[in-house]
A and B are shown apart, each in its own frame.
Chain A
Amino acid sequence: MSAATHTMRDSSTMLRRKFKHMLRYPSMTLQLAAIPIIFLLLFVYVFGGTLGDGLGGFSGGRSEYVNYVTPGVILLAVAATATATAVSVATDMTEGIIARFRTMAIFRPSILTGHVIGSVLQALISLAIVIGAALLIGFRPTAGVVEWFAAAGLLTLLALAITWLAVGLGMVADSAETASNLPTPLILLPFLGSGFVPTESMPGWLKSFADHQPFTPVIETLRGLLFDAPIGNNAWIAVAWCVGITLVCFVWATRTFNRKTL
């Protein structure tokens, strides 16, 4: 068997393993979608009337707010998948199974790529559910096919970045419990950005954080794509953040993996 087919075969075996984990514990995948949907309903139906009026838009109220908040909730959904990934990686690291893989003549990186590809797909499934729920309660984007593809591409890029970060966090956690706590701050980032209210409404010190953290340009780019609004530099800043986080966390996670498993 050639090296290339070896690589493909081991990678798909590891991805199948990840899928089996996800199917065995479907509650994890459902929970990933449930949390953002709960926030979506909460913010649209409880706060949405007031917050929508505060946006200063043409129509105002709840119907405007659902369009405003959905991109923020979408990012919340991506952030929430990090917890599942970190727990899954930490569980792997604390069980002896990784040591077994390392004594076998397999394509080494497939151990991690199985997690990463599986988690990105998990994030996209969760996103599809969340977007479906948003459409049901009045989310009405004006985007065409090209814009939707661009949005999907950006979200995949973000999911990849968050997943590598989560893999690294799962790797340094000494137990599954720690791993489930470490990514929690990520859930707050959409709130501390332009996800739920415009950053202009925040106090100065918070606004400057909110404007310069990675989630805000992603949210703004999504809004631009989905509602045909001006995007400005946000697209490039968003892509740069995603690629940067992916690269840094990729190096960090693979190094930690090699060190920890020696």
Chain B
Amino acid sequence: MTNAIETTGIHKSFGDHTVLRGIDIAVASGTIYSLLGPNGAGKTTMVNILSTLAVADSGTARVAGYDVVGQADAVRAAIGVTGQFAAVDGRLTGAENLRLMADLHHYGRKDGRRRTAQLLEQFDLEAAAKKPASTYSGGMRRRLDIAMTLVGEPRVIFLDEPTTGLDPRSRRAMWQVIRDLVADGVTIFLTTQYLEEADQLADRIAVLDTGVIVAEGTPDELKRLVPGGHISLQFGEHDQLVAAAKTFGEVARDDDAMTLQLPSDGGVRSLRAVLDGLDRESITVEGLSIHTPDLDDVFLALTGRPRAEKENQK
């Protein structure tokens, strides 16, 4: 399998502020690769360099087989970019925005019309096609944005925090769009602040922290690095806590708070195992909560410090 994106030693500074310090990544064609990190980690700068919007201070990057600096136009012809802020023309209608993209991709009149109609349907924008994009809701703007990115049938797509600011339903819809795209064989480079999003979508994840990739691997490989996932049981009576501890083992028992924390991946199977155990031993619990590993846990595990603290340090 060839690589759709390859970088070696990418460095980038803005004045005294170093944003990226030696990024090496390789993204196989037809896969989803996620760059995961908090605000200010350098995710957008990385997307800008790969999409020819910015030039790295040192290092090389090839996208779709072309050098991003020396062959920028060939890269641009192969990519589609959806940035963090919806890149739509608010003064044009949804259909006009798509036609504009079709014209700039030099489609003929008929092909441009057909592609526009097809994308309006695919992204559920037909009803709003003749309204100015400035009147769209956040979710609609984002859908139009992605549709515009797809007009030229790009082989490599960059999505910079595509679900930030979307409600849960729109976020799910966006995930489905992304899955459908990769099913058609395109390569997707996705940045996100949400571990869950990277977990749901990505074939491989790189965790970016202050300009350095601190971990890279499949979602499962990464999650093994994170000990944060657990089921927390709250007890009303002490003897119940003791009984539960006997059943599940002496893990993270807190006698004062009367809680017991059991390691879990947050999945249904591990939850059922716990519930079955409680049933079998007739143990009464007051409350149960599931804690899944999140970005904070990843950061704590990988950098040895929580996210908030890190931002203060800077």
Binding site for B on A (CB under 8 A): 1, 6, 9-10, 13, 16-17, 20-21, 24-25, 91, 95-97, 99-106, 261-262
A261 to B54, CA, bound (A): 9
The tally of residues in B whose CB lies under 8 Å from a CB in A reads 31
* Besides A20-B92, A100-B149, A104-B152, 19 other A-B contacts (C-beta < 8 A): A1-B106, A6-B106, A17-B89, A21-B91, A24-B132, A91-B90, A91-B91, A95-B90, A96-B83, A96-B86, A97-B87, A97-B88, A99-B53, A99-B81, A99-B87, A100-B81, A101-B104, A103-B52, A104-B76
Is there a chain A Cβ closer than 8 Å to B208's Cβ?
no
Q: Are B88 and A96 in contact (CB under 8 A)?
A: yes
Is there a chain A Cβ closer than 8 Å to B183's Cβ?
no
Binding site for A on B (CB under 8 A): 51-55, 73-74, 76-77, 79-81, 83, 85-92, 96, 100, 103-106, 132, 148-149, 152
Q: From DSSP, what is the main secondary structure of chain B's interface residues? A: loop
Which residues of chain A are near B74, meaning CB under 8 Å? 105
User: Given A20-B96, A97-B88, A97-B89 in contact, is the A103-B76 Cβ separation under 8 Å?
Assistant: yes
Q: Are A100 and B83 in contact (CB under 8 A)?
A: yes
Q: Are B91 and A24 in contact (CB under 8 A)?
A: yes
Q: How many whole Å from B150's CB to the nearest CB in chain A?
A: 12
Q: Are A95 and B100 in contact (CB under 8 A)?
A: no
Q: List 14 A-B contacts (CB under 8 A).
A: A20-B91, A20-B96, A24-B132, A91-B90, A96-B83, A96-B88, A97-B87, A97-B89, A103-B51, A103-B53, A103-B79, A105-B73, A105-B77, A262-B53
Q: Are B85 and A102 in contact (CB under 8 A)?
A: no
Other-chain contact of B104, A25, A95, A106 (Cβ < 8 Å): A106
Q: How many whole Å from B83's CB to the nearest CB in chain A?
A: 5
Which residues of chain A are near B76, meaning CB under 8 Å? 103-105
Other-chain contact of A17, B51, B54, B87, B92 (Cβ < 8 Å): B92
Which residues of chain B are near A101, meaning CB under 8 Å? 104
Q: How many whole Å from B153's CB to the nearest CB in chain A?
A: 13
User: Given A10-B104, A24-B132, A262-B54 in contact, is the A100-B148 Cβ separation under 8 Å?
Assistant: yes
Q: Are B104 and A104 in contact (CB under 8 A)?
A: yes
Q: How many whole Å from B31's CB to the nearest CB in chain A?
A: 21
Q: How many whole Å from A27's CB to the nearest CB in chain B?
A: 13
Q: Are B87 and A96 in contact (CB under 8 A)?
A: yes
Which residues of chain B are near A105, meaning CB under 8 Å? 73-74, 76-77
